[in-house]
């Protein structure tokens, strides 16, 4: 029952300190005319809208349901309002079915002339969704390519980002094993002044990308999980959610 559109219900907390149910209202809705590209984006919101907003950004070729409902419940139980969504060309959001096939070799070499859209366009989509939802700024949590999108938003739209969590992602630096197709963001990441958490699995072949991300962003916190690969294992949902909630609530405190 966890991922049916329009579901209203209660989901038991997987683990954690609170011995209660995470009551959540789950609404699947579609926003239209989102961002400069005027696309449609399907999203779900969980928990109390009065709590700090946390926007979950999934990676390439993955739908929003790859943020498991149980993981979302862990975040809700820690006093967070959770929003997950389908990126363009994923799930129920706009698909660019008539787009020309890009020259991947050229893109990997830094020539984007054949591509229909870039990481910057996906970042603009995400900011556009915040606009539709009436959310001035949010705590961004991105996994894999979603982490790259979150980084791009923090770089190009810093006023929209209360905190940044980058999971299993990278800086785009080819010297740490990243393909340059999305561009090297290292120098721009060094200019960020946003509370940042970087998490990565020790068993993920791209772990150097995580280390490079933490090294680039000033005052960021790096957490490495032994045995974790390029995924979000159920056994770590509570721990990962705890780290995210700690960052969010710390960033929410008046300065």
Q: How far apart, in whole angstroms, are the C-alpha atoms of residue 130 and residue 194? A: 18
Q: How far apart, in whole angstroms, are the C-alpha atoms of residue 11 and residue 110? A: 45
Residue 158 near residue 164 (C-beta atoms within 8 A): no
What is residue 106's predicted lDDT score, i.e. its pLDDT?
Answer: 75
Place of tokens 């300065």: 255
- What the block records as the tokens of 181 is 């197709």
Taking residue 118's Cβ as centre, other Cβ atoms within 10 Å add up to 15
What is residue 1's predicted lDDT score, i.e. its pLDDT?
Answer: 24
Per-block mean pLDDT, blocks of 10 residues, the chain (255 long): 35 41 65 92 92 96 92 95 91 81 70 76 96 97 96 97 97 77 87 98 95 98 97 96 98 89
What is residue 144's predicted lDDT score, i.e. its pLDDT?
Answer: 94
What is residue 176's predicted lDDT score, i.e. its pLDDT?
Answer: 80
Instruction: Print burial letters for 139-176: b (CB count within 10 Å at least 16), e (below 16).
Output: bbbbbbbbbbbbbbbbbeeeebbbbbbbbbbbbbbeeb
Would you call 228 helix, strand, or coil by DSSP? Answer: coil
- The DSSP symbol for 25 reads E
DSSP for 151-216, written as a single string:
HHHHHH-GGGEEEEEEES-----GGGT--GGG---HHHHTT--S-EEEEEETT-TTHHHHHHHHHH
- What the block records as the tokens of 237 is 């949902």
What is residue 230's predicted lDDT score, i.e. its pLDDT?
Answer: 95
Residue 152 near residue 123 (C-beta atoms within 8 A): yes
Structural domains for the chain: 8-252 (3.40.50.1820)
């Amino acid at each position: 029952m966890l991922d049916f559109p329009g579901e209203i219900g209660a989901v038991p907390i997987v683990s954690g300190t609170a011995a209660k149910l995470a009551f959540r209202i789950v609404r699947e809705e579609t926003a239209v005319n989102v961002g400069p590209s005027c696309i449609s984006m399907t999203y779900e919101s969980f928990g109390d809208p009065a709590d700090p907003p946390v926007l979950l950004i999934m990676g390439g070729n993955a739908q929003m349901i790859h943020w498991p409902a149980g993981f979302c419940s862990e975040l809700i139980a820690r006093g967070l309002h959770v929003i997950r969504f389908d990126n363009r060309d994923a799930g129920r959001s706009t698909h660019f079915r008539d787009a020309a096939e890009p020259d991947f070799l050229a893109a990997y070499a830094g020539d984007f002339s054949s591509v229909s859209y870039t990481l910057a366009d996906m970042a603009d989509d995400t900011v556009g969704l915040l606009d539709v939802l009436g959310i001035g700024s949010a705590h961004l949590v991105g996994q894999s390519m979603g982490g790259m999108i979150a980084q791009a938003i923090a770089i190009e739209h810093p006023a929209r980002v209360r905190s940044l969590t980058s999971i299993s992602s990278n800086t785009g630096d080819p010297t740490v094993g990243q393909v340059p197709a999305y561009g090297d963001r290292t120098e721009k990441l060094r200019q960020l002044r946003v509370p940042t958490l970087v998490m990565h699995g020790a068993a993920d072949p791209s772990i150097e990308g995580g280390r490079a991300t933490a090294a680039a962003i000033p005052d960021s916190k790096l957490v490495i999980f032994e045995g974790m690969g390029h995924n979000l294992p159920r056994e770590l949902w509570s721990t990962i959610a705890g780290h995210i909630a700690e960052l969010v609530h710390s960033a929410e405190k008046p300065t």
